[in-house]
């Protein structure tokens, strides 16, 4: 078994696509309509993100990305997008949390020294 994708319902599909392309370097793989829903798949390497348009109810989710350099990632975000952190955990890992365009929580985790 291996990870395939993580799905998020979002009220503004295009804003989310632009955000994840800009901040995470994801590229649009394909766009489909399934059972009346517009869905966009974004990907980078072995990671896929499925964005599902849902104008009726805002959803929030937590998603975590392992990164090589937390400082480099942090420099790509505005200060008002930061929720909390950075923190250094007991095992030496470093983490920080940011707010995405639809109030979803995005965690970045550095497990090895930069």
- C-beta of residue 1 within 8 angstroms of C-beta of residue 45: no
Q: Name the more confident of 63 and 38.
A: 38
Which of 58, 73, 99 is the C-terminal boundary of a domain? 58
User: For residue range 67-94, what is the model confidence (pLDDT) as tens digits?
Assistant: 899 999 999 999 999 998 998 888 888 9
- Asked if residue 42 and residue 8 are part of one domain, the reply reads yes
Q: What is the CATH number of the domain that holds 105?
A: 3.10.180.10
- Asked if residue 47 and residue 14 are part of one domain, the reply reads yes
User: For residue range 30-61, what is the model confidence (pLDDT) as tens digits?
Assistant: 898 876 789 899 999 888 898 989 887 666 56
- Asked if residue 53 and residue 72 are part of one domain, the reply reads no
Backbone angles phi, psi at 20, to 5 degrees: -70, -30
Alpha helices, H only, 10-89: 13-24, 70-74
**Model's pTM, two decimal places?**
0.67
What domain range is 50 assigned to? 1-58
């Amino acid at each position: 078994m291996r990870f395939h994708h993580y799905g998020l319902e979002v009220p503004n599909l295009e804003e989310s696509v632009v955000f994840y392309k800009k901040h995470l370097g994801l590229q649009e793989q394909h766009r489909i309509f399934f059972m009346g829903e517009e869905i966009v798949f974004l990907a980078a390497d072995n990671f896929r993100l499925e964005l599902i348009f849902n104008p009726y109810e805002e959803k929030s989710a937590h998603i975590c990305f392992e990164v090589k350099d937390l400082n480099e990632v942090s420099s790509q975000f505005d200060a008002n997008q930061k929720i909390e952190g950075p923190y250094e955990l007991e095992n030496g890992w470093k983490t920080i949390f940011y707010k995405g365009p639809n109030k979803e929580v995005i965690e970045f985790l550095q497990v090895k020294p930069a």
